[in-house]
Amino acid sequence: MSHTEPAAGATDAPVLEVRGLRKSFGDHTVLKSIDLTVRRGQVVALIGPSGSGKTTVLRCLNGLEVPDAGTVEVAGEVRVDFAAAPSRGQLAALRDRSAMVFQHYNLFPHRTVLENIIEGPVQVQRRRRAEAEAEALSLLGRVGLADKRDSYPFELSGGQQQRVGIVRALALRPQLLLFDEPTSALDPELVGDVLTVIKELADEGWTMLIVTHELAFARQVANEVIFMDGGVVVERGHPDTVLRAPRQERTKQFVDRLLNPF
């Protein structure tokens, strides 16, 4: 699988640099100047209450939302300053370097598992079909779904669909993987399978930004945890600090409530 594994070395080179990211929807300001750095091979977990803006951050990075201001730089190759409206080419360049895994999987229901995975490589990246299929099958095998290649998404459980969603993202050979609450839509007993896959990716050195409510998972996998609330970063640091001994009162309240819901 050497062709899909991220380049080794240069572990401290930033894959993602975000400065002063702002976004409003009408009168409602969702992001008030967010700064963010993710270095090669790092896993950063973005946590916070709903409405804190964490999902919007991801969506801005993948061009699903256009920020009002700020700069985003990916892999030192693409730098977009949103002070001016970005061109389609700039948004496409951002998307080319990152891949998104959605909360609700968003697989294409009219295509088989294999077709879902090779759609981007073949249709967008213009790679040879045979090569894309071979790579897709080997990735499917790694998440334990090789026998589902010809199934349609509706024939799969939520956990299986999300693993296909992850493979679809990996098949694009991105520099950066973005996860938007990848386990929030799953039945509790299926969460583990998906988290195991993500943890394996982390161990392999993939660079990832993960929006999640799974604090135990974040503590185990992330190099850094960022707590957002009200469109700002309230606290960031080592998972043990942020999740166990937060400095900010708001972080403490949030973490306590997730750990002790009753």
Partner 1 sequence: MSVNWDLVWSSLGPMLIGAIQGTIPLALASFVLGLVLALAVALMRLSRYRVVAAIARAYVSIIRGTPLLVQLFVIFYGLPSIGVTISPWPSAIIAFSLNVGGYAAEVIRAAILSVPKGQWEAGHTIGMSRRQTLVRVILPQAARVSVPPLSNTFISLVKDTSLASLILVTELFRQAQQVAAFSQEFMLLYLEAAVIYWIICLVLSSGQSLLEKRLGRYVAH
CB of 12 to partner 1, least distance (A): 27
Nearer to partner 1, 69 or 91 (CB): 91
**Strands annotated E in 181-223:** 208-211
CB of 104 to partner 1, least distance (A): 6
Nearer to partner 1, 68 or 119 (CB): 119
Nearer to partner 1, 108 or 247 (CB): 108
Q: For 148, which DSSP code?
A: G
DSSP annotation string for 73-131? EETTTEEEETTSPPPHHHHHHHHHHEEEE-TT----TTS-HHHHHHIIIIIIS---HHH
CB of 18 to partner 1, least distance (A): 18
Per the CB < 8 A criterion, the answer to whether 177 and 208 are in contact is yes
CB of 49 to partner 1, least distance (A): 23
Buried b (16+ CB within 10 A) or exposed e, 2-17: eebebeeeeeeebbbb
Nearer to partner 1, 152 or 241 (CB): 152
Nearer to partner 1, 104 or 129 (CB): 104
Per the CB < 8 A criterion, the answer to whether 185 and 157 are in contact is no
CB of 212 to partner 1, least distance (A): 18
Residues of this chain that interact with partner 1 (CB under 8 A) are 62-64, 88, 92, 95-96, 99-100, 102, 104, 106-111, 119-120, 123-125, 152-154, 168, 172
**Strands annotated E in the chain:** 14-25, 28-39, 43-47, 69-74, 78-81, 98-101, 176-180, 208-211, 224-229, 232-237
CB of 8 to partner 1, least distance (A): 26
Nearer to partner 1, 164 or 215 (CB): 164
How do beta strands 176-180 and 224-229 pair?
unpaired
